[in-house]
Amino acid sequence: MLPPDLKKKYQIFEAIFKKEDASKISQQDRNKFNVSDKTEFTYGEVLFPYFIPLFDLVKPKEGEIFWDLGCGAGRPLAIVSMNFP
């Protein structure tokens, strides 16, 4: 169960990414380039409620930069920007 402030952010996040199926897009491209069997091209996404505690541990400070290399659909960027502006 998420606290009310996070629940509202989660609902916004879900609305933004509701129609985005980055995993399907990734699989199509791996098939297109014949690299489906290569583990280095495995696609994965972060989950909103499980990603926030990681940043609670890190305690980002104003002015620090979050880099997401190979960000796929941009979900980590959205989560961080919503919760740690």
Listed in sequence order, the residues at least 6 apart from 85 whose beta carbon sits closer than 8 Å to its beta carbon are none
Q: Tell me which residue range forms the domain holding 72.
A: 4-83
Cα angle 21-77-81, degrees, rounded to a multiple of 5:
130
* pLDDT at site 66: 87
- How far is the C-alpha of 31 from the C-alpha of 47, rounded, in Å? 25
- DSSP annotation of 21 reads -
**pLDDT, tens digit (0-9, with 9 covering 90-100), for 36-47:** 888 877 778 888
- DSSP annotation of 79 reads H
Based on the structure, what is the number of domains in the chain?
1
Name the residue among 13, 73, 18, 16 with its Cα closest to residue 43: 73
* pLDDT at site 11: 94
What pTM did the predictor assign? 0.74
**pLDDT, tens digit (0-9, with 9 covering 90-100), for 48-65:** 988 888 888 988 888 888
